Amino acid sequence: MKSQSPQSSNTLFPVFLKLEKLNVLLVGGGNVALEKLGALLGNCPEARIKLIATEISGEVRAVLSTSLIPFEERPFGQDDLQNIDLAIIAVNDPDASSAIYQQCRERKVLTNVADKPHLCDFYLSSVVQKGNLKIAISTNGKSPTVAKRVKEVLNETFPEEIEAILNNMQKIRNSLRGDFSEKVKQLNEITEILAKKGELPGEPD
């Protein structure tokens, strides 16, 4: 297995979470919570989310009304962390943010306090999606605006045909016989063209 060379100071470790298997607590019911709710449901409509906020805006209510997400309009309390795997905090009160983060740490709940890097165990990313291909982008917190721009560039330039390629590759992958190293060799040969510059379908010459 090849190891990657250490990339200077960016120590973030990327993962892709299965939100239909995890319990997510979203605290806050304003603009930022609305964005986070959209990101969670946009990636995983079956995400297991619970929302708690002192006041829930009309826009957040509208999204909640189209889902089965349980919600309560009251301040966060420690019991809200029961059975929670992941918390996303989007409240407009810095003291409450810090206090909630501390309680999450005590319970070992992985937490993101929106726009507060020092109160984050993980960052949210910009997401490019073409069918089953998903690319998550982070700038190590340097510039979320650049992450958004990189997403836009990749969305424009990455061909839609990638979905057909993935489906074909899955069929080929399932039909291959032989030992593991033989399969890896064949799959590498078939896909060699994808790594050649200017040879992706739809890619400009």
Ligand X SMILES: NC(=O)c1ccc[n+]([C@@H]2O[C@H](COP(=O)([O-])OP(=O)(O)OC[C@H]3O[C@@H](n4cnc5c(N)ncnc54)[C@H](O)[C@@H]3O)[C@@H](O)[C@H]2O)c1
Ligand Y SMILES: C[C@@]1(CC(=O)O)C2=NC(=C\c3[nH]c(c(CCC(=O)O)c3CC(=O)O)Cc3[nH]c(c(CC(=O)O)c3CCC(=O)O)/C=C3\N/C(=C\2)[C@@H](CCC(=O)O)[C@]3(C)CC(=O)O)/[C@H]1CCC(=O)O
Residues that bind ligand X (CB under 6 A): 27-33, 52-55, 75-76, 90-93, 96, 114-115
**H or E element that contains 33:** helix 31-43
Which residue's CB is nearer to ligand Y, number 146 or number 193?
146
Residues forming a β-bridge with 191? none
- Residue 119 near ligand Y by CB under 6 A: no
Task: Give the shortest CB-85-to-ligand Y separation in angstroms.
Answer: 17
The reply to whether 39 sits near ligand Y by the rule CB under 6 A is: yes
How many residues line the site for ligand Y (CB under 6 A)?
20
C-alpha 147/C-alpha 203 separation (Å) is 22
Which residue's beta carbon is nearest to the bound ligand X? 30
52 binds, among ligand X, ligand Y, none (CB under 5 to 8 A by kind): ligand X
Considering the complex, state which of residue 69 and residue 125 has its C-beta at the smaller distance from ligand Y: 125
How far lies 156's CA from each of 70, 94, 128, in Å? Answer: 36, 38, 10
Buried b (16+ CB within 10 A) or exposed e, 67-76: eebebeeeeb
